[in-house]
A = this chain, B = another copy of it.
Amino acid sequence: MQSEQEILRQYLKENGLRRTPEREHILQEIFATHEHFDVDELYLRLCQKGVKISKASIYRALRLFLDCGLIREVDFSDGHWHFEHIYGHNQHAHLRCLGCGEIVEFEDPNLTLLQGQLGRDYHYQIVSCHLEVKGYCATCGKTREKSL
């Protein structure tokens, strides 16, 4: 199995794009942890590691990584973009607490089946499948009951 860097380099070559230290630094940072991230967080993490880079370049790199399937968008409905790396990971869905923001990742084999079903039923070529469940975790649920 190729590394994410190899995937990137291959994609760049195939599309007449160039390999740059900026792109590789960003990609490395994205795959350094399993955390979900937004542009500001990523920018900060890079700054802290001494990588000098502009936000414009980060935005541009993220679009590139989306195109080659290394990352995907995660919808937090909070007005700006969040992402996570997906290359090398099983597809998963998110259960998020509206109180504290905790995120539980879970896999659902039914989703894979559903994709096949949808593809067949509606003659669609499925590209992505995002399931986001929201609610209150045990702790936040209790706090909430009291205040009602």
A interface vs B, CB < 8 Å?
73, 75, 77, 95, 97-98, 104, 106, 108, 110, 114-115, 118-119, 122-138, 141
Residues of B within 8 A of A134 (CB): 126-130
Instruction: Decide if A138 touches B123 in the complex (CB within 8 Å).
Output: yes
A130: B residues at CB distance < 8 A: 75, 130-134
> How far, in angstroms, from A135 to B98 measured CA to CA in the complex?
29
Is there contact, CB below 8 Å, between A126 and B118?
A: no
With a CB–CB cut-off of 8 A, which chain B residues contact A95? 118, 122, 124
What separation, in Å, do the CA atoms of A131 and B91 have in the docked complex?
A: 14
> B110 contacts A136, CB within 8 Å?
no
